[in-house]
Amino acid sequence: MISRKILNLLVMFLCLTSPLIADIYEMSEKNTVIEYPDIDDNHSLRKDIVNRVSRIFTPEVTIFVISMIPIFELRGAIPLGINHFKLNPLLVFFICIAGNMVPVFIILLFLDILTKILFRVPILRRFLEYLFQRTRRKNETIEMYEEMGLVAFVAIPLPITGAWTGSLAAYLFGLKFWKSVFFIFVGVIIAGIVVTILSLLGWLGAIIALTVLLVLFLRKAVKIKSS
């Protein structure tokens, strides 16, 4: 249990401190593929995804695509666009908002049909049942406050939150389609504002993110110790 909590906080830290990661990217030229040493580290998957996407698309399309990917969403795409590609922050903000909203429509419209198909495969059925149970268990705020809880959940730019998980939770709790889309959109805008400000602050934003990480880590540690 403790190791899983620590892992979640580690991933959270990587996403919150994306401005620092993006600063490292500055050693390469714009629109070029970034070369990294052949080492096995925690950032290798993230780097590989960025390299592959940036090899194919322009910076604007790259951050749009990155913002649709669940391990990134806009919390990873906005720092990449501002700190690495040096794009206009306002342009980056709107592109990443649009990209982050694409999976919302797909999940809310087609998850029911897709679930019925995947449930026919036993191993996928067990995985989806685990995923759905975990999502319900981790989203008491949405279940209690419904739409406003959905806004609050999506608005916090952490790995365990965001448009992907918020859409899944909205589907599982039976929230209405257009209401879900609207309130997820509001949450995405708030998250985008937070990440944009942190990205523009540079090192100060990283310090703020680190402070948030430490507070959450201590809170989790106290909760684990008392349970």
Contact 157, 75 (CB under 8 A): yes
The tens digit of pLDDT for each residue in 75-85 reads 999 999 999 89
The token pair at 221 is: 């540690």
What is the model's pLDDT at position 159?
A: 67
Residues 70, 142, 79: CA angle, nearest 5 degrees: 35
CA distances from 153 to 46, 74, 104, 182, 194 (A): 24, 15, 14, 14, 14
Rounded CA gap, 7 and 3, in Å?
6
Distance of CA 13 to the CA centre of its chain: 12
Rounded CA gap, 16 and 79, in Å?
10
The tens digit of pLDDT for each residue in 20-73 reads 444 434 433 444 443 433 334 445 666 777 777 777 889 999 999 999 998 899
The tens digit of pLDDT for each residue in 160-218 reads 788 998 999 898 888 899 999 999 999 999 999 999 999 999 888 878 878 887 887 78
What is the model's pLDDT at position 43?
A: 57
Rounded CA gap, 166 and 157, in Å?
12
What is the model's pLDDT at position 227?
A: 67
199 or 156, greater pLDDT = 199
The token pair at 138 is: 């981790």
Q: What is the DSSP letter of 80?
A: I
Rounded CA gap, 53 and 3, in Å?
32
Residues ≥6 apart with Cβ < 8 Å to 149:
139, 141, 142, 143
